[in-house]
Structure 1
Amino acid sequence: MGKAITAVNTPNKTSNFYPADEKWEMIMLPFVASVAMEEGTAVSPQIVSNNVTGNLTCMGVENATGSDFFGILAEPIVSTDTDYATAGKFKGVWVPQSLYATAFFTVGAGTFTAADVFKTVELHSDSKSLAVDTLGKGARIVEFISSTRGKCVFSLPQTEVA
């Protein structure tokens, strides 16, 4: 790892997901080849032809077909990395150690108000924010901070891979 990793409870310089409490553990995990991701991206197992590949990638909009939320990328993956095109490269990931581990989020789409607390929503298509005007199985909003920020948990039902 050549890049700095943001410590728990230390706001990163991005506006993406990051741990909001001590219920997260940093783990080095394998990633898919040739996919750039920002620090704070939600990641999930890569699924190809209904099977896992053993690597993580950007999470889709919700827990579906085994591609469930696994953690938050703690360092960026960029095309200039020496291992960028290597499948199985290890990168730091914040992994929740409890169903109630909270994460800060930014609003990627929609109008966010205090009335949205406890709503279950999809992740935005960028994998690094929430689409707060959607109904889905991506995350549950647990705290309103401002019209652009809040806290969520990723405790929604897990799905299966055939």
Structure 2
Amino acid sequence: MPQLDISCDDLVVADPAYVAERLGSDTLWREWWPDLTLTASERRGLEGVRWTVTGAAIGTAEWWLESVRDGVVVHWYLRVDPARPVHGRALLRLKERYVAAYRERVWRFKDEVEAGRAAGERRTGSEPAIVSGEDTGAAIEQPAGHTHQTRPAKR
């Protein structure tokens, strides 16, 4: 198991294809973590990218993009061992540094692509993925004409 096994998940309410294109950019990673060299090992289109990592740390990194309703959940993984021995508090600070860099930048990205959208409002031009009435067994509208009947609430 690598010394640093980091995962973060964030919902971005934007077109999944656009998110995949932007987050799949090789230059993006160089900007976010200049001390890491990432080489794409698997480009998975709308599902993300996997990289091998060298430089200040050795291992793997991944964006796994999961389409959810009118956006995409960005699952980020960094599984690496520092290139030089790091232990104790120094290892914790390194982990915190990588997570802080990710959070700062992914939230900036969210602010950019979600600009003008009020919290809870669906993405402009998107169809609602789930619309339900009261929890009384009403039908739930799903994309592409799929219909699913909910179970009545237990009383």
Larger radius of gyration: 2
Given the two structures, how large is their TM-score scaled by the length of structure 1? 0.22
Q: Which has the higher contact order (CA 8 A, sep 6+)?
A: 1
Given the two structures, how large is their TM-score scaled by the length of structure 2? 0.23
